[in-house]
Amino acid sequence: MAEELLQKHFTPYVPQSGEEYMNSEQLAHFRGILETVKLQLMEDIERTVHTMQDEATVFADPNDRASQETDIAIELRNRDRERKLIKKIEDTIGLIDSGDYGYCAACGVEIGIKRLEARPTATLCIDCKTLEEVREKQIAK
């Protein structure tokens, strides 16, 4: 869902030749993306709360009630995932404010504009993320 939001709300940043990495224009670009996604997620959560309040019906049939409870559980799980993404977006905006945005948290290299546009909350470069995923697979076995 967040990927859909990203593709609808921004045009890709095209850096000029010789442009400094994570200059004020790039930071403003990513802040705009993050704030737009955060706002959309918050609106979705608010809409879900109102919908759930409006549709709160007590069914006499146990199957209908079970179906409704399952739907509510799925919706709440989705909203919880979105709530966690909002927290991650807020943390990322904090990185922009501190001047640490766009650099790998593990090795310190530039993450890259294209990767950040695909996943603006990324904190690891592609190499460190790949290594992390390989480790996770080894531990899971």
User: Cβ(92)–Cβ(101) under 8 Å?
Assistant: yes
pLDDT of res. 25: 95
- 110-130 pLDDT, tens digit each: 999 999 999 999 999 999 999
- 40-57 pLDDT, tens digit each: 999 988 888 777 766 666
Does the pTM exceed 0.85?
no
User: Cβ(27)–Cβ(96) under 8 Å?
Assistant: yes
CB atoms within 10 A of CB 64: 12
Confidence of residue 102 (pLDDT cuts 50, 70, 90): very high
Confidence of residue 71 (pLDDT cuts 50, 70, 90): confident
C-alpha–C-alpha distance, residues 25 and 20, integer Å: 10
User: Cβ(118)–Cβ(5) under 8 Å?
Assistant: no
| Domain extent listing, the chain | 2-6+21-140
Distances (CA, A) of 58 to 4, 51, 96, 108, 120: 34, 15, 47, 55, 42
Of 71 and 42, more confident = 42
Over pLDDT 90: what percentage of the chain? 63
Looking at the domain covering 2-6+21-140, what would its CATH class be? Answer: mainly alpha
Helix axes 24-54, 62-98, angle to 10 degrees: 160
| CA angle (123, 133, 131) in 5-degree steps | 75
